[in-house]
């Protein structure tokens, strides 16, 4: 615990783990909804890493445990504001990666 290295979790990893590998039926469709689900799972997973309960995390931010529960289960489309508050409390650095796909499809 004390000597663990920088932990890094990417959305891709989470997708692979929870949704399925790329190419699998349920991957590319539902992408939109699933991303929110994954975000909730990331909060949960980060909280677990910190060995915190929902109540403890809530107290750090100033909300009740039920709020945390809702966020983790993606009950709604969270605000950037909220997401950042949470990850900040978890001493996690969250950032957004945007990948602009090429206009032209490559032929295999």
Query: Per CB under 8 A, which of residues 30..69 are in contact with its own copies?
Result: 32, 35-36, 39, 42, 46, 49-50
In the bound complex, what is the minimum distance in angstroms from residue 22's beta carbon to its own copies?
12
Q: Residues 41, 14, 94, CA angle at the centre, nearest 5°? A: 70
Distances (CA, A) of 50 to 11, 26, 33, 45: 19, 31, 27, 9
107 interacts with, out of its own copies, DNA, none, CB within 5 to 8 A per kind: none
- Tokens found for residue 99: 């990948």
Tokens representing 26 are: 């349920």
* Residue 39 and residue 78 in contact, taking contact as beta carbons nearer than 8 Å: yes
Work out what residue 70 binds among its own copies, DNA, none; the CB cut-off runs from 5 to 8 Å by kind: DNA
**x-or-dash pattern for DNA, window 55-84, by CB under 7 A?**
x--x---xxxxxxxxxxxx-xxxxx-xx--
Enumerate binding residues for its own copies (CB under 8 A). Answer: 1-2, 4-12, 32, 35-36, 39, 42, 46, 49-50, 77-85, 87-88, 90-104
């Amino acid at each position: 615990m004390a000597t663990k290295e920088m932990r890094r979790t990417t959305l891709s990893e989470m997708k692979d783990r929870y949704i399925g590998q790329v190419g699998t039926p349920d991957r590319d469709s539902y992408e939109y909804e699933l991303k929110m689900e994954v975000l909730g799972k990331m909060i949960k997973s980060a909280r677990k890493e910190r060995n915190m309960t929902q109540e403890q995390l809530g107290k750090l931010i100033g909300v009740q445990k039920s709020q945390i529960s809702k966020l983790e289960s993606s009950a709604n489309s969270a605000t950037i504001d909220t997401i950042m508050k949470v990850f900040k409390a978890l001493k996690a650095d969250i950032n957004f990666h945007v990948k602009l796909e090429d206009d032209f499809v490559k032929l295999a």
